[in-house]
Amino acid sequence: MAGGQFVGVLACNWAFVFATIVTIIPESETRLPRRYRGVTAIYPGSFDPITNGHLDLIQRGSRLFDRLIISVLRNEAKQPLFSAEERMEMLCEVVDEYSNIEVDSFHGLLVDHARTHSATVLLRGIRAISDYEYELQMALMNRRLNPGLETVFLLANEAYSFISSRLVKEVFSLGGNISGLVPPSVEERLKRRMSKLRKKGA
């Protein structure tokens, strides 16, 4: 599947609309077309916690864009395991080696946050076909709110296509091994947080 093309995943009446809103980049691609270079991109998410799937997209995104901002969503209504500040700390620990990556947080409309940073691209990951419907809705709405804001999808590396923050937390809370699913520093934070919660609940 080439960047900017979309074939046979959505119903035909959505395919053309979707293709005009987003660019889909295969896992093997490491550079955007020339017209997308030299821009600021935002990779938004909860990152509660960051997984190796997130980190893979971040690493690839850093090669695609001159400036990549990882933006942590502040939404306490979701009752996150880690605070926004803790999630930002975890992100800073694992992306410190990248000179073109910044870590920030936001609440409210993502398009307003993008405008604040003069960002013209939203970076999103696609793990499976089930992700498309939700992402299509978001891309359409963001395009309506800001026609100049593009959505670029990176297809997940197959090694990480099953990973989600929710699944990692669930497996870990039940005593499962999450080595290789999250960065080592994040795994240590999870151990400390779960231990604290168990003591609190005892």
Residues classed as catalytic: 54, 78, 127, 165
Give the 3-state secondary structure of residue 40: strand
Distance CA 54, CA 51 (A): 5
Q: Among 126, 119, 105, which Cα is nearest to 149's? A: 119
What totals of helices (H) and strands (E) does the chain contain, helices first?
A: 7, 6
Distance CA 103, CA 113 (A): 13
Q: Where are the alpha helices (DSSP H) in 33-131?
A: 52-64, 84-95, 110-116
Q: Among 46, 158, 28, 130, which Cα is nearest to 91's? A: 46
